[in-house]
Chains A and B, each alone.
Chain A
């Protein structure tokens, strides 16, 4: 038995995340760790944890795993791994080791698992890391991901929240992979859109991060399950207002049509519920709103860089071959955290 069980009624990838509202509710009740060497923990909204070992060395730890969002197990392995590795890049780190996290039904064809793990290991190798083991659980559904450890200089951590007034915002991958995968589950995704979505999801954020390192970067996150707008709200916090130019948003071409057909996930609606109050939309179409709330699996980096560096960064990122753009700028705090115009 192969394909059928990786055919997912339920919607995989980052659409399977717990809603941000539910999550923050639970996390608030946990005792906060007090260790001066824990430089980044879940106190803020950052992607991974950073722990200082010495004055010039810290480790970055992160993990991510989820159910399949595509039917090809090898492709799923690549996407899940690229997604898990991404958090290290979003912090400015360098990948060192990775461990597999596997949930797999006992009765399923093990060749499928083999394909998933092969895809994952390819991406770890591409990242320059070593796959060092893992843990597997017999479960009713397939889930896969990685626990990743990287290294970083303690003084050169890219915070989510470091953006500064006057910065421009650069998004390194197109939005809409959630919509395309949902359309695909309904057998309605166009091949060209699928191809772009697959290419985007399997592209490591390593390359974009390497480019960004050369410029004056103030804040960075990767766009994942909470969607572009929720991640952007986290970036600006209460301090600034991000003004997003809707015309500059890179997205997969078929997405407005998929929105019109209402191939919308529950996750996108949860994202909307979570941040809607912090947003102001000016003449934004319903389709663009949904694209901006769309949960991304293995999405791109969203970087806040000095305005003068913007064009040069964009030019280099464009050469990576995915739709990208300077999507907005950081301004003095207004009423809303994010204005889309």
Chain B
């Protein structure tokens, strides 16, 4: 018997995982799926009924149900295995390609979180949202999907160029002058023909991406053109700025280090 503990997983995860297991199991093998609600049981029974497979279920306790479905084996999924295989291969070709693409994107960003993490280890109700509980958690995938940066704009961005800003002043000397210089540096950077792929802001640099910063508009302009703007979360916390972050995303030291070590060109003011 194959056992799948899918408690804490919302539909359709239990039924999709069960379907996969049934399709790869030998004929006659029972697949047992544990779920935590009656509707999931019904969805699993629906799968069995639709595929003409034997099934049984039992309630084991509050929020614990077991559904057992007997596999008819990989070949028995259809009357004409060859045609069906071709058909289902055609159908899955696209998702497979998509998944690969997404994973590649993550790899490049040093994101330790596979996109389908929640499918494998589902969060229990109430215990989810790792990112909420741990804002310094694993790095985000590139925000291209979110900002939807158009391809023609992305061409402005030079792959591998990372702009690192660790202060809200440029150079050492007079403080007032340092602020002015930094402001015009960011302004000038935003007007360049080649924009950095990523801008890292930390320590005093974190102030630049927060409300009240005179560089906000320039940073937003660069973000719109496809730059990733990442501000150190520890620094935002330290300066009490977390609520006022006004552009880009929060990052952590792992991502800062990974971005810097993977950079082809580091630019500092």
Smallest Cβ-Cβ distance to A262: which chain B residue = B15
The one of B43, B119, B131, B140 in contact with A262, judged by C-beta atoms closer than 8 angstroms, is B43
Residues of A within 8 A of B135 (CB): 1, 107
Chain B, range 36-58, C-beta contacts under 8 Å to A = 37, 39-40, 42-43, 46-47, 50
Residues of A within 8 A of B19 (CB): 261-262
> Given the complex of chains A and B, what is the CA–CA distance between A187 and B13 in angstroms?
12
| Residue B110, interface by CB 8 Å | no
The one of A2, A5, A257, A269 in contact with B132, judged by C-beta atoms closer than 8 angstroms, is A5
> Given the complex of chains A and B, what is the CA–CA distance between A266 and B247 in angstroms?
37
| Residue A316, interface by CB 8 Å | no
| Residue B175, interface by CB 8 Å | no
The answer to whether A111 and B39 touch across the interface, beta carbons within 8 angstroms, is: no
| Residue B108, interface by CB 8 Å | no
Smallest Cβ-Cβ distance to B44: which chain A residue = A262
The answer to whether A9 and B146 touch across the interface, beta carbons within 8 angstroms, is: no
> Given the complex of chains A and B, what is the CA–CA distance between A3 and B106 in angstroms?
13
Nearest Cβ distance between residue A204 and chain B, in whole angstroms? Answer: 21
Chain B, range 104-146, C-beta contacts under 8 Å to A = 113, 115-116, 118-119, 122-123, 128-129, 131-132, 135, 137, 140-141, 143, 145-146
> Given the complex of chains A and B, what is the CA–CA distance between A178 and B268 in angstroms?
48
Nearest Cβ distance between residue A18 and chain B, in whole angstroms? Answer: 12
Chain B 207-237, CB-CB to A under 8 Å as 1, else 0, gives 0000000000000000000000000000000
| Residue B61, interface by CB 8 Å | no
The verdict on A3 contacting B129 (CB below 8 Å), with A107-B135, A187-B102 known, is no
The answer to whether A190 and B94 touch across the interface, beta carbons within 8 angstroms, is: yes
The verdict on A108 contacting B43 (CB below 8 Å), with A1-B249, A9-B10, A186-B119 known, is no
Query: Contact size class for A?
Result: 35 or more
> Given the complex of chains A and B, what is the CA–CA distance between A2 and B94 in angstroms?
26
The verdict on A266 contacting B39 (CB below 8 Å), with A187-B95, A187-B98, A190-B94 known, is yes
Stretch from B181-189, B238-246, B259-267 forming part of the interface with A: B238-246
| Residue B99, interface by CB 8 Å | yes
| Residue B170, interface by CB 8 Å | no
> Given the complex of chains A and B, what is the CA–CA distance between A105 and B132 in angstroms?
7
> Given the complex of chains A and B, what is the CA–CA distance between A187 and B37 in angstroms?
24
> Given the complex of chains A and B, what is the CA–CA distance between A270 and B102 in angstroms?
33
The answer to whether A140 and B146 touch across the interface, beta carbons within 8 angstroms, is: no
Residues of A within 8 A of B129 (CB): 5, 105, 140-141
24 A-B pairs with CB atoms under 8 Å apart are: A1-B135, A1-B137, A1-B250, A2-B143, A3-B145, A6-B146, A7-B118, A9-B123, A10-B128, A72-B145, A72-B148, A105-B132, A107-B135, A141-B132, A182-B12, A188-B94, A188-B98, A262-B19, A263-B16, A266-B37, A266-B43, A269-B46, A273-B42, A286-B50
Q: Residues of B with Cβ closer than 8 Å to A?
A: 9-13, 15-16, 19, 37, 39-40, 42-43, 46-47, 50, 91-92, 94-95, 98-99, 102, 113, 115-116, 118-119, 122-123, 128-129, 131-132, 135, 137, 140-141, 143, 145-146, 148, 242-243, 245-250
Q: Residues of A with Cβ closer than 8 Å to B?
A: 1-7, 9-11, 71-74, 105-112, 115, 140-141, 182, 186-188, 190, 257, 261-266, 269-270, 273, 286
